[in-house]
Homo-oligomer: A and B are copies of this chain.
Amino acid sequence: MTHKPDPRTLFQVFKEIGIIEQLSRARLEARLPDGLIAPHFAVLSHLINRGDGAVPIDMARAFQVPKTSMTHTLKGLAAKGHVELRANPQDGRSKTVWLTDKGRALREEVIQALAPGFGDMMQHIDPDELAQMLPTLIKLRSYLDAARNGEGKT
């Protein structure tokens, strides 16, 4: 049967998630060139997965960050030539974000650089166990996303 939830367990789940986020981010950033950090890589991956030409405000929402943060991140990527900002023919207020060849290449290189680390991780942790966790993580993320009412500044 289902028992009363122990808040301590819940707290611990969030605590572990927080630390994992920190450590995995550090791990990723160790493989990124000089001035780039995790959010830059996240943007490149997003553009690969979802396709070119995204509107900055939509990306800010996808990442759950304020639009000013997205502006800052995109400025950094554009300055290094990894993305290109173009006017949005559909809406004069907004822009569209496009990957450059340099940006695509960088994303590929970083993934290659991460591969050995992934391999090592798989030797210490059962991949299936991680995969089984995914649906629960998605539920949790979805709930938190939906419950975040009113605060919707993004």
B residues within 8 A CB of A23? Answer: 64, 141, 144-145, 148
Interface SS majority for chain A: helix
Tally of this chain's copies:
2
Contact with B along A20-60 (1 / 0, CB 8 A): 11111111001000000000001001000000000000000
**Count the A residues whose beta carbon is within 8 Å of the partner chain — how many?**
60
With A137-B16, A137-B17 known to touch, is A151 a contact of B24 (CB < 8 Å)?
A: no
CB distance from A141 to the nearest CB of B (A): 5
Q: CB of A105 within 8 A of chain B?
A: no
B residues within 8 A CB of A118? Answer: 5, 7, 10
With A21-B21, A118-B10, A140-B125 known to touch, is A26 a contact of B151 (CB < 8 Å)?
A: yes
Q: CB of A127 within 8 A of chain B?
A: yes
